[in-house]
Amino acid sequence: MPYVNVGKENSCDIDLYYEDHGSGDPIVLIHGYPLSGASWEKQVAVLLAAGHRVITYDRRGFGKSSQPTTGYNYDTFAEDLHKLVTKLKLREFALVGFSMGGGEVARYLGKYGTKGVSKAVFISAVPPFLLKTRDNPEGVDGSVFEGIQKAIVADRYAFFTEFFKNFYNADLLLGKRVSEQAVQSNWNIAAGASATACLACVPTWHEDFRKDLTGVDVPTLVMQGDADRILPITASGLRIAKLIKGSRLVVVKDGPHCITWTHAAEVNSELVNFLGKGLAKHATAAPKKEGVA
């Protein structure tokens, strides 16, 4: 299996698992909490069919990646992403982040700039700043995040069961847009994640990304459901779109947090339209004549 080394913890390497498929314009898909790159299942095949090179990876602590007890902050997450981009020698690549993955997109662009990045996509993403403060009255009260941490410490497996109900708005959509088996699969992936990572990531959700976003000068797509119970659209998606000049905002009617699964057709259509046809674009070049190298 392919891995990229991003550091060490004592005698142990910290390796990130990734997958790299297809050819054409590269797209890096960054997953949400507490899942893995496998959560992009409904997008990968569509993007490959559209002629793109599609790269997914598992954040440290999750999926098939190493489970260190250090590095759970967005500066490190962005550095991890940069090491993957460097290893794969990506050029003119698009960054697509779902939920917590939107933080990687924002911090990467803020830390490394937009050179080499063609486009950015934020889907149900944590930026710009979720914590309610004096200069951020639209945010969420800090007690909410404290309560989540207490629930994880008490019994993270029970917490995940409740979390995924709101992740999918299961009371309304279970059996219609998401199956019990799909939810169970998510729970299994979450249960296999690092206990340290599951707890340590919670405070990162209210990182301040406002400065990171103001410098974004590449075409940007923002998508979120208007029935998101994990991240209120008024505190996240609507504000991201306002901060990034010229960005395109798509609000998915009745969409829960995980619109990448429940409303995959709509999400995929927007992605393909925004990201374009990878190989098709290159196919317009004049064909080589026979016998000419």
Tens of pLDDT, residue by residue over 39-54, are 999 999 999 999 999 9
Question: Coil, strand or helix: which one is 87?
Answer: helix
Instruction: Examine the pLDDT at 189 and tell me if it is beyond 60.
Output: yes
Instruction: Examine the pLDDT at 282 and tell me if it is beyond 90.
Output: no
Which residues are catalytic, by number?
A: 99, 228, 257
Q: Which amino acid is at 143?
A: S
Residue 293 confidence (pLDDT): 34
| pLDDT more than 70, % of the chain | 95
For the stretch 228-233, contacts whose Cβ atoms lie closer than 8 Å and that sit 24 or more positions apart, written own/partner, are: 228/124, 228/255, 228/256, 228/257, 229/166, 229/169, 229/256, 229/257, 230/99, 230/124, 230/163, 230/166, 230/167, 230/257, 231/99, 231/124, 231/125, 231/126, 231/130, 231/257, 232/140
Tens of pLDDT, residue by residue over 86-113, are 999 999 999 999 999 999 999 999 999 9
Instruction: Examine the pLDDT at 290 and tell me if it is beyond 90.
Output: no
Residue 290: inside a domain, yes or no? no
Q: Are 1 and 64 in contact (CB under 8 A)?
A: yes
Q: What is the sign, positive or negative, of the torsion defined by CA atoms of 72, 75, 78, 80?
A: negative
Residue 204 structural domain: 3-282
The CATH number of whichever domain residue 7 belongs to comes to 3.40.50.1820
Residue 198: inside a domain, yes or no? yes
26 contact partners, CB below 8 Å, separation of at least 6: 52, 53, 54, 55, 88, 90, 91, 92, 93, 94
DSSP character for 156?
H
Residue 291: inside a domain, yes or no? no
Tens of pLDDT, residue by residue over 205-238, are 999 999 999 999 999 999 999 999 999 999 999 9
Residue 292: inside a domain, yes or no? no
Instruction: Examine the pLDDT at 276 and tell me if it is beyond 50.
Output: yes
Q: 137 preceded by cis ω (within 30°)?
A: no
Instruction: Examine the pLDDT at 34 and tell me if it is beyond 50.
Output: yes
Residue 236: inside a domain, yes or no? yes
Residue 277 confidence (pLDDT): 75
Mean pLDDT value across residues 128-151: 95
Domains in the chain, number: 1
Per-residue confidence at 138, pLDDT binned at 50, 70, 90?
confident
* Mean pLDDT, rounded, of the chain: 94
Residue 287: inside a domain, yes or no? no
Q: Are 292 and 286 in contact (CB under 8 A)?
A: no
Residue 15: inside a domain, yes or no? yes
